[in-house]
Amino acid sequence: MFYWIVALFIGAMTLMQLRVNAWLWLVAVLAWIGTGFQFAGIGALAAILLLLLLVPPTLIVAIKPLRYALLSRPALKVFQRILPRMSQTERDAIEAGTIWWDAELFSGKPAWEKLLQLPAPKLSAEEQDFFDNEVEQLCRLVSDWETTEIWQDLSPQAWQFVKDKGFLGMIIPKQYGGKGFSAYMHSQVIMKLSSHCSAAAISVMVPNSLGPAELLLQYGTEEQKDYFLPRLAAGQEIPCFALTSPYAGSDAAAIPDVGVVCMGSYDGQEMLGFRLTWDKRYITLGPVATVLGLAFRVQDPERLLVADGNAEIDLGITCALIPTNHPGVVTGRRHWPLNAVFQNGPTSGKDVFIPLDWVIGGREQIGKGWRMLMECLAAGRAISLPSSTVGFSKLAVQGTSAYAAMRQQFKIPIGKFEGIHEMLARMGGNLYLMDAVRRLSALAVDAGEKPSVISAISKYHVTERGRVLINAGMDVLGGKGICMGPNNFMARSYQQMPIAITVEGANILTRCLIIFGQGAIRCHPYVLKEMAAAGEADQGKALHDFDQALFGHISFVCANFSRTLLAGLSSGSLPSAPRAAPPELRHFYRAVNRMSAAFALLSDMSMFVLGGSLKFRERISGRLGDILSQLYLVSSVLKRYEDDGRPTEDLPYVHWAIQDALHQAQEAYLGVLENFPNRPLALLLRVVAFPFGRPYQLPSDALDSTVARNMQTNGESRDRLIAGMHMSVAGESPHAAGELAFQLILQVNAIEARLKPAIQAGTLAPIPQSLIDMQHWIVAAAASGDISEDEQQLLQDFARHGDSSVQVDDFPQDFNLLESIQKRMQALQQA
């Protein structure tokens, strides 16, 4: 009897995972009952009862006419009744973009070969040359201190360089005079500029992200492309795009800006167009733009565009391009976003007439602007904020790790204290993960995807982890981090971090509404099909399509239930890892498979229990989105390790990042269950997923210390961690001194080790902690012959650079910033 029951469990789990059809289930049921009667001694009565209990339901599912009549048709009617109404803007948002690895993570059984076989992101020879030369030259023309405190913008020289060298046309194809660079190259450029000067990064980023160029490439008429794209690529036009209004921020689809269809006069001719009134704010490059991309709502009260008298007067959101020197366009004023000096400001206009031909894509695209924006944002959001956040995070990691290794207190470097280890590990582990996400998301765009869900994940989690990283760096730097001046390499990042959190979809909105709200429908293999079937006018087709989707969905739930239960009972050892996975990381692949199945099961149960109200349960939706997100983050880390050639010295970063992400996914899962309205189901799901408690723990103290020591060790692993950032040289930036001192630490330590016997014997004075006093010690040691001339020079360089790196800026009490700026500008102009 025991083995017969075990056979039931194993057989049911196997059939669920194989997702066999109802006829095979019927055969299996009959075989199981017959085996029990023949060999397990269940008796005739018990066998008959089992046949009556199990066979009829299985036959109903197997025989399609019966299934239609008794199951699918009633279920369709219920589904149509309870299905929440979806506005056109919601539908456009959900359907915009494409699904990619996010759908695999939603499947419960990710196909790792699809991810691992993708080539590692790589720059072409032309892109590498531009990166090594033009991008490097731009970095040497600018700095955060000068752009902020002197120019309050890019300098005129830097702006001209940006225009002349084609930075504004990186995504524009060569046939229009652009660079035709890849998304990965776009990301690399923004990352490098952000590691040195935020104003330069954002000024280059915006024209190449969500803006007129992207919209024109995707939707513009040939005439519009031929006119605008060469001018944008050459820097003859500076673009901006205006979407956000004072009363339509996160709810951008509700913009109140209106264009009324009318006849008007332009260039001496009467023509059809719009009488536009708008009031926008937070428009990056708005104050200096020469061409304004504008989103507005079209209304046609006189029905000049629609012949049907029953048609809607409100034709929907539309995008147009307007020269900023057009009569009635008001620009030029600036916002001041947390002392960041990239150009950003309002734009407005009242009763401004524009020709209909100025609509991007012409007349056919009237009313399709929201879909256009969602499609373009899906690609741009995957690049811009992730790249810029990784850029200034690399600067923070480079500077802070060097400072911790070189700065001494209590006669030892502060980087050896465990409290500092915790902060450094938080920085290094997060940076490794953030950069992995940036690279994989750019790879998706280059693969032709418009990854709407992945871009939201990337933007939200990279900026949130960037905030954690910067805060940790400030804790390590202490007083050096809070005194403004050219010596402070962290202040601007710390000051401006909330900007990244806020723009291109505020993080609260992105987490609570977009990641899962859009991902649950787009990435789920059956939900969108069920919704489409429910809205089908042809009832016969609706029933057929709904039946296929419904029973596919049920099979999907059963398969994930089986996978989740078996993974839980085996403590995560049963889900298989791909053959190509490195042995040292196979358990992480299995962990993602386990959490993927558990996530898919929990998502289906949440949608079943909460239905349409799930979109209003933002904390539950947010936590479900967190699970999906953390699985994407882990996937990014695993892919990066493969792309980098499996360097074993990077494993501490890999382990830290994955352990942290898996722990967060687990806690989000349990957070959903702790707040789940159906308590019995919540208990069942917890037991199924984690029958033996919490399997995923935060990185240990020992791992923290290993990561921190890696960050303070000069070598290839640290070089890979900060690769692609701008490396300041001596004389260019005070920040360079810390890295120069850091590069000499190993040699200094070797000299100290050689001199230790003499110091212990008392024949040589101990090396002083103060780098100023160290200079005197060096002279004395050289005079006594204890160190060679080369060693004397090396130690003096270390002391000089080290002393420079620990200093902070100070200013006279009567220091007048405005007067200082004016004097500096006069000196620069004379030079």
| Residues recognised as catalytic | 504
Crossing angle of the two packed helices 418-446 and 651-674, in degrees rounded to 10: 80
- Which residue's structure tokens are 């939603």? 106
Rg (CA), the chain: 31
Decide: helix, strand or coil at residue 52: helix
H or E segment and range at residue 745: helix 745-761
Residue by residue, DSSP assigns 1-16 as -HHHHHHHHHHHHHHH
Residue by residue, DSSP assigns 416-484 as GSHHHHHHHHHHHHHHHHHHHHHHHHHHHHHTT--BHHHHHHHHHHHHHHHHHHHHHHHHHHTHHHHS-
* Gap between the Cα atoms of 144 and 338, Å rounded: 13
| Helices (runs of H) and strands (runs of E) counted in the chain | 37, 8
Secondary structure E strands in 175-290 = 239-242, 258-266, 269-284
Secondary structure E strands in 21-130 = none
Phi, psi angles (nearest 5°) of residue 252: -60, -25
- Do 517 and 606 form a contact (C-beta atoms < 8 A)? no
Task: Specify the pairing of strand 291-299 against strand 269-284.
Answer: unpaired
CA 268 to chain centre: 49
Q: Which residues of 212-233 are buried (b: 16+ CB within 10 A; e: fewer)?
A: bbbbbbebbbeebbebbbbbbb
- Do 256 and 247 form a contact (C-beta atoms < 8 A)? yes
- Do 413 and 405 form a contact (C-beta atoms < 8 A)? yes
Crossing angle of the two packed helices 771-783 and 789-806, in degrees rounded to 10: 170
User: In terms of residues, how long is the chain?
Assistant: 831
CA 92 to chain centre: 21
Phi, psi angles (nearest 5°) of residue 807: -75, 155
Sign of torsion over alpha carbons 768, 774, 780, 784:
positive
Q: At CA 541, angle to CA 537 and CA 543, rounded to 5? A: 95
Sign of torsion over alpha carbons 248, 253, 256, 257:
positive
Task: Specify the pairing of strand 291-299 against strand 239-242.
Answer: parallel
Max CA distance (Å), the chain: 106
Phi, psi angles (nearest 5°) of residue 406: -100, -35
Q: At CA 753, angle to CA 747 and CA 755, rounded to 5? A: 105
Residue 438's nearest CA partner among 396, 395, 391, 505 is: 391
CA 172 to chain centre: 23
